């Protein structure tokens, strides 16, 4: 089958589930991954044919897309902050807004800190995308990361190896912060960052089914009656475990920005800043410890 015909088949089979641009993107991602062909190559040579063996594996990918499996899970990888990451169903697929959070942290530290031995803690690391990206871009930082999921930590450790960075990973329940000091032996951090679960159950209906049906719910959802449960635990811990003038960064629910401001104020954080992402949604917040 010619790749031009295969692309037309993708549009035929997936129309109704995804928009046209998204379907084309899936096609080019699978062709690049399985055949090593770039989009420009197909534009210049649309009549290239693929072997029966290659066709079979690409059609399997098409079938997975029809079942609304995320393309990143199909190929087992994605890119985040210009770096390669392994992903599977045990971890969330990294989002562009989280890249913005990482960029904000790096820019903040380069402006305000002259320390050569920064200590950074990533809480709820998942794939390790935040921790790995910070370690890769802040050469003198000592990065620590924790998660409640053993399987997620396996992925994060492989991503640290893949990107040639050293990170100390620990399995810890975010909601049991009383155990953290025994893990880190009262180490003080210059930055604590977290992208914890923040999607309320009431918002589930607004989400795409390929996310709800495939990505780990433990990393996504919180109960409607206590949507800040993780933020409260982490903020309380940060008060005692941030170094002098240390920073707390969060990715947040776009609808809960004001509540997050009040939470940080209640723990006497200074310099609180709510930041919008590229889609003009309140998605990030930072505060500085007032001591």
Each residue's pLDDT tens digit, 212-232:
788 888 888 888 889 999 999
Each residue's pLDDT tens digit, 145-159:
999 999 999 999 999
The pLDDT value given to residue 144: 96
The pLDDT value given to residue 206: 81
- Provide the whole-model pTM: 0.93
Q: Which of 197, 128, 206, 220 is nearest to 166 (CA)?
A: 128
Each residue's pLDDT tens digit, 27-49:
999 999 999 998 888 888 878 88
Q: What is the mean pLDDT of the chain?
A: 92
Percent residues over pLDDT 90 in the chain: 73
Using H for helix, E for strand and C for coil, what is the string for 50-96?
CCHHHHHHHHHHHHHHHCCCCHHHHHCEEEECCEEEECCCCCCCCCH
**Position 9 pLDDT exceeds 90:** yes
**Position 181 pLDDT exceeds 70:** no
- CB proximity list for 168: less than 8 A, separation 6 or greater: 142, 143, 144, 145
Distance CA 14, CA 11 (A): 5
**Position 120 pLDDT exceeds 80:** yes
The pLDDT value given to residue 53: 93
The pLDDT value given to residue 133: 98
- Tokens 């960052």 — which residue? 193
Distance CA 187, CA 28 (A): 46
The pLDDT value given to residue 203: 87
The pLDDT value given to residue 267: 95
Q: Which of 197, 168, 209, 169 is nearest to 256 (CA)?
A: 197
The pLDDT value given to residue 215: 80
Distance CA 63, CA 68 (A): 9
Each residue's pLDDT tens digit, 245-281:
999 999 999 999 999 999 999 999 999 999 999 999 9
């Amino acid at each position: 089958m010619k790749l031009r015909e295969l692309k037309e088949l993708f549009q035929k089979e997936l129309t109704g589930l995804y928009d046209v641009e998204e379907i084309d993107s899936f096609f080019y991602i699978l062709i690049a991954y399985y055949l090593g062909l770039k989009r420009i190559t197909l534009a210049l040579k649309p009549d290239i044919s693929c072997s029966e063996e290659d066709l079979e594996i690409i059609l399997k990918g098409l079938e997975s897309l029809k079942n609304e499996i995320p393309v990143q899970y199909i190929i087992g990888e994605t890119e985040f902050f210009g770096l390669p990451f392994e992903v599977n169903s045990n971890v969330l697929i990294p989002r562009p807004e989280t890249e913005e959070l990482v960029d904000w942290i790096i820019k903040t530290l380069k402006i305000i800190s002259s320390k050569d031995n920064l200590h950074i803690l990533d809480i709820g690391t998942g794939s390790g995308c935040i921790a790995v990206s910070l370690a890769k871009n802040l050469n003198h930082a000592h990065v620590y990361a924790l998660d409640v999921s053993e399987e997620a930590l396996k992925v994060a450790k492989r991503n640290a190896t893949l990107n040639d960075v050293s990170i100390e990973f620990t399995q810890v329940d975010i909601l049991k912060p009383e155990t953290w000091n025994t893990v880190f032996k009262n180490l003080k951090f210059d930055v604590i960052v977290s992208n914890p679960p923040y999607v309320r159950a009431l918002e589930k209906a607004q989400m795409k089914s390929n996310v709800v049906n495939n990505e780990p719910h433990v990393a996504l959802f919180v109960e409607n009656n206590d949507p800040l449960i993780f933020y409260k635990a982490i903020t309380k811990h940060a008060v005692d475990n941030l170094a002098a003038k240390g920073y707390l960064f969060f990715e947040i629910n776009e609808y809960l920005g004001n509540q997050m401001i009040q939470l940080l104020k209640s723990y006497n954080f200074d310099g609180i800043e709510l930041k919008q992402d590229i889609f003009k949604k309140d998605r990030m917040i930072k505060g500085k410890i007032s001591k």
